[in-house]
Amino acid sequence: MNKNYDIVVVGAGHAGIEAACASAKMGLQVALVTMEKNAIGRMSCNPAVGGTAKGHLVREIDALGGVMGIIADQSGIQFRMLNRSKGPAVWSPRSQNDRKLYTEMAIKVVDSYKNITVVEGSIVEILVENKKVSAVITSENELIYCNAVIICSGTFLNGLMHTGLIAVSGGRFGEMPSTGLTECLVRLGFESGRLKTGTPPRLNKNSINWAILEVQPGDENPQPFSFRTDTSEFPYLPQVNCHITYTDASVHSILEKGFNESPMFTGLIRGIGPRYCPSIEDKIVRFKDKERHHLFLEPEGLDSDLIYLNGFSTSLPAEVQLKALHKIKGLEEVEMIRPGYAVEYDFFPPHQVDLTLETKLIAGLYFAGQINGTSGYEEAAAQGLVAGINAAAKILQMEEFVLKRSEAYIGVMIDDLVNKSTEEPYRMFTSRAEHRLLLRQDNADLRLSYYGNKYQLISNELFGQIKAKKKKIEEGRGLLETIKIPSNEINHLLVKIGESETEASEVIAKLVKRPELKLKEILQLKSENDFVLSEIKNNNYLIEQLEIELKYEGYIKRQEEVVKKVEKFETLNIPLNFNYLILNSLSTEGREKLFKVKPRSIGQASRISGVTASDISILLVYLRK
């Protein structure tokens, strides 16, 4: 029997969940196709969410109305804010999660949408009429008609897992690959490539000597990912410690002896691996000067005996892995439950998608996640959310959803992918965002909830609360810019922290700019303004926001001015059907890259690798004519 849906989402990993939930929340009928319903949201690699820059993505997903932050909060067994010793631009939340509970919560979230139908199976064919998606065919030869398809296939497209010289078909341990879809897309005219990722061995926690390992605790007062999580009940689960150990020369020596059976070094693996998350054998080769490498022992769950050895991703033979593990401090008697392995999979270079993540070749077809060459749960989830919103918006004839680089890390990532494409797994870093002081994790809801509300993912009530929070920050700032603290009240505190004394009264806003002086310390001083400042005093979030805004005011203003200057180029639109090949005055590489990417604006064109300043000048002259 044939079926009809508005949108078919292929794959139920982190990208697929966000795509399906966003489209469903916007009122459309969604088929979520997965090879196994119980695998929805399954964490293929580390059972952790967030981290440097990745935590920013999760906060942004949540601010837009996505679900990853909520699922992470409900399944988190350790929460940490990374980079606290640095500036607020790089503070990044991270959680260790219970793998089993994460999947259970993900299934619960998907099941809560009555207009999402989970279809078990895989998609082998996409039917196209007049360069537009019309239907899909499943592996069971079932025909599903639809207006849009979002492919979120993860590492399953022709997935091949490697341990030593043994290769087994699969996209994840114990799960079959997806076959047929790559070949279908190639027949439709898409260019494909091959990438690889890896995972470390899983260890038995009862065979580890914990007493001699360095403890890595979570935060004393952990912060949730989601702005919607009730902090009075958070954290929901018992919190656990992670631990740290290290490799050494003896470990490296054993691993090197296995290099002649490494699929990476012997050429069995053709796919390119992640530069910024290399395997342990890759680390040894690339960083020969390093005597040791960090390893993190992270629990897979409250009721699980499995330990994830973060930092020891490998595809070496199992016996070599175990021999090397036994040379590591604390793991001398360790039992390896499952060896590490590498997985190769197909991807489609992302110059083939637009900033909406709709493919340029086929209308109504969207790519999200690792199919676009990214690495990581958070990058995938963010793309799934953008693709889900845009697929639904197009069907509902709403305005398309595109985030600028100056608005969100999500905007930076998609802009990078489309304009620069990628030949290796792309990972998000704070250094990729030129306006990162504006794109902090703490203000994601203030920046992005407007869009969440516009596309019906954030309720009017919640959006009203966020607007009220923003107003409180503005009012609080107004108070701090007017209320003065007498010199005799503040000087003893200034002396105590090694700051120079002040001769006259100063407004709080000016005092806060002193590097070592904290707003909380100023507010604790007894003052005739205690009553006026009471609302700020009793609100830690408000204190943090005001302190960041005031301390970094000069830097923030400079970044805002830069954004305004480049904004004019973002509004200089280029027709999507513009024929760059007729402009002989463009450089050969510039002409080829512009034709390939088809940028929407001069701003986007200027960020394409190989397009010169001279090319941009020529384009501007031609467009003005």
Q: What is the mean pLDDT of the chain?
A: 93
**Could you write out the three-class secondary structure of 588-624?**
HHHHHHHHHHCCCEHHHHHCCCCCCHHHHHHHHHHHH
Residue 277 identity: C
pLDDT given for residue 108 in this prediction: 98
Scanning the structure block, which residue is given the tokens 């990722």? Answer: 197
pLDDT given for residue 565 in this prediction: 86
Please state which of the ranges 226-230, 254-258, 489-493 shows the lowest mean pLDDT: 489-493
Write down the domain spans for the chain. 3-197+345-454, 202-341, 470-555, 571-624
Helix, strand, or coil here: 46?
coil
pLDDT of 300 > 60? The answer is yes
pLDDT given for residue 489 in this prediction: 85
pLDDT given for residue 59 in this prediction: 98
* Mean pLDDT score, 282-293: 89
Contact 157, 164 (CB under 8 A): no
Predicted confidence (pLDDT) per residue in 4-14, tens digit: 999 999 999 99
* 396, two tokens: 């509902």
Instruction: State the pTM of this model.
Output: 0.94
573-598 burial string, b = 16+ CB within 10 Å, else e? ebeeebebeebeebeeebbebbebbb
Nearest to 401 by CA among 59, 21, 392, 409: 392
Which architecture, in CATH terms, is 202-341? Beta Barrel (2.40)
pLDDT-above-70 percentage for the chain: 99
Scanning the structure block, which residue is given the tokens 């690339």? Answer: 286
Predicted confidence (pLDDT) per residue in 577-610, tens digit: 888 888 888 999 999 999 989 999 999 999 998 8
Residues 6 or more apart whose Cβ sits within 8 Å of residue 593:
608, 609, 610, 611
pLDDT given for residue 527 in this prediction: 67
pLDDT of 152 > 70? The answer is yes
pLDDT given for residue 526 in this prediction: 66
In sequence order, what DSSP letters do the residues of 459-474 get, joined into one string? -HHHHHHHHHHHHHHH
Q: 104 exposed, middle or buried (CB, 10 Å; 0-12, 13-18, 19+)?
A: middle
Contact 88, 442 (CB under 8 A): yes
Return d(Cα 158, Cα 178) in angstroms, integer.
6
pLDDT given for residue 1 in this prediction: 52
Scanning the structure block, which residue is given the tokens 């966020």? Answer: 466
Instruction: Choose which CATH entry (3.40.47.10, 1.10.10.10, 1.10.10.1800, 1.10.150.530) describes domain 470-555.
Output: 1.10.10.1800
**Could you write out the three-class secondary structure of 344-355?**
EEEECCHHHECC
Return d(Cα 327, Cα 339) in angstroms, integer.
16
Return d(Cα 235, Cα 237) in angstroms, integer.
6
pLDDT given for residue 2 in this prediction: 65
pLDDT given for residue 492 in this prediction: 85
Scanning the structure block, which residue is given the tokens 């060459």? Answer: 373
**Cβ-based neighbour number of residue 537 at 10 Å:** 14
Return d(Cα 196, Cα 158) in angstroms, integer.
12
Does the domain at 571-624 match CATH 1.10.150.570? Answer given as yes
Please state which of the ranges 7-16, 169-178, 375-384, 460-469 shows the lowest mean pLDDT: 169-178
Max intra-chain CA distance, the chain: 84
* Mean pLDDT score, 121-150: 96
Tell me whether the CATH fold assigned to 3-197+345-454 matches the one assigned to 470-555: no
Predicted confidence (pLDDT) per residue in 422-467, tens digit: 889 999 999 999 999 999 999 999 999 999 999 999 999 999 999 9
Which architecture, in CATH terms, is 3-197+345-454? 3-Layer(bba) Sandwich (3.50)
Q: Which band of pLDDT confidence, cut at 50, 70 and 90, is reported for residue 528? A: low
Residue 526 identity: K
Scanning the structure block, which residue is given the tokens 């904290």? Answer: 518
